[in-house]
Amino acid sequence: MSDPKESRYLATFGKTIAEWRRERGYTQETLAEKAGITTLSLSYIEQGRRWPRIATTARIAKCLGVPVAKFFEKL
């Protein structure tokens, strides 16, 4: 990613998901299984290496019991 601003957004987005996951006591494996994605995909999302699809974002939010908008509040 060449745009530093987008890289910061991506990193912040991923950190937010990781924080919510840890607060719920989920491992990456558990959340990935509940959301129907691979652990590697979730890892890349949390590391700020990949944006998830909108449907994936919605499934992750549902599993964590938070509105999708919560992931974007810190951006």
Produce one character per residue of 19-30: b if its CB has 16 or more CB atoms within 10 Å, e if not.
ebbeeeebebee
Decide: 71 and 57 in contact? Cβ < 8 Å.
yes
- The stretch 39-57 carries a mean pLDDT of 97
- The stretch 20-41 carries a mean pLDDT of 98
Local confidence band at 39 (pLDDT 50, 70, 90 cut-offs)? very high
Query: What domains, with CATH codes, occur in the chain?
Result: 4-69 (1.10.260.40)
What does the alpha-carbon distance between residue 19 and residue 1 come to, in Å, rounded to a whole number?
Answer: 23
Can you say how many angstroms the Cα of residue 43 is from the centroid of all Cα atoms in its chain?
A: 9
What does the alpha-carbon distance between residue 50 and residue 13 come to, in Å, rounded to a whole number?
Answer: 10
